Amino acid sequence: MSIRTSFFVPLFVSSFVALSGCGGSGASGDGASSADDAKHPLIGSPAPDFGGNSVNGKGKVSVKASGGKVLIVDFWATWCEPCKKSFPKLQDLFVKYKASGMDMIAVSEDDENSGITDFGNTFGSKFPLMWDDGKAIAAKWQPKSMPSTFIVDKNGVVRFVHLGYHDGEEAEIEKEVKSLL
């Protein structure tokens, strides 16, 4: 193997891994424009309901309670590096569009609930955080990578899905949210 090959192959592989999100099958790291996102089985279907108490003091939350609003449901985990980038961006969208009729629920897929509230505080979330104990919510929503962001219209239908996160994706999400408000 040449010096050039031994340098560029690991560089290419590490770049690919860094851009592909936090696991999951077919995680492209792209937004709703990727083929994997466009094929998600929930697009065009009613959003599966779930509910419970937030772990960060935001009270009880549910998909049903957000009826009549545009809803972002974000699946994430404390170990997920792209989630650390997406959380502040989602917070900005939450603040900007909450008064216009947008709501948000962030669902942690961590195996344990320790660290969830600290993660939310570290990354500035003012939206409700839930813990998916036993992964029952994920079983209904089928997030294929971390993060996975679902955008639900005012009628409770999933319209957009983002698998993974890349810099600038918040602009795509904002455009989609605005189209539904």
Which CATH number do you get for residue 158? 3.40.30.10
Let me know if residue 57 belongs to a domain: yes
- What is the domain range of residue 30? 21-180
Whether 96 maps to a domain, the answer reads yes
The pLDDT, as a whole number, for residue 173 is 97
What pLDDT score does 39 carry? 84
Q: Is residue 13 part of a domain?
A: no
Predicted confidence pLDDT, tens digits, the chain (181 residues): 544 444 443 333 333 333 344 554 333 333 344 445 668 999 999 999 999 999 999 999 999 999 999 999 999 999 999 999 999 999 999 999 999 999 999 999 999 999 999 999 998 889 999 999 999 999 999 999 999 999 999 999 999 999 999 999 999 999 999 999 9
Asked whether residue 126 is domain-assigned, the answer is: yes
Is residue 111 within 8 A of residue 78, CB to CB? The reply is no
* Sequence-separated (6 or more) residues with CB below 8 Å from residue 144: 24, 25, 26, 27, 36, 40, 163
Whether residue 100 lies inside any domain: the answer is yes
Whether residue 148 is contained in a domain is answered as yes
Contacts of 173 (CB under 8 A, 6+ apart): 31, 72, 89, 90, 93, 149, 151, 160, 162
**How many separate domains does the chain show?**
1
By C-alpha distance, which of 52, 130, 129, 126 is closest to 94? 126
Tokens of 137: 């919510």
Amino acid 147: pLDDT: 97
Whether a cis peptide bond, with omega within 30° of 0, leads into 147 is yes
In angstroms, what is the C-alpha Rg of the chain? Answer: 17
Q: Name the packing angle between helices 169-180 and 81-97 (round to 10°).
A: 30
| Contact present, 145 and 164 (Cβ < 8 Å) | yes
Q: Is the pTM of this model over 0.85?
A: no
In a domain, 6, yes or no: no
**7 in a structural domain:** no
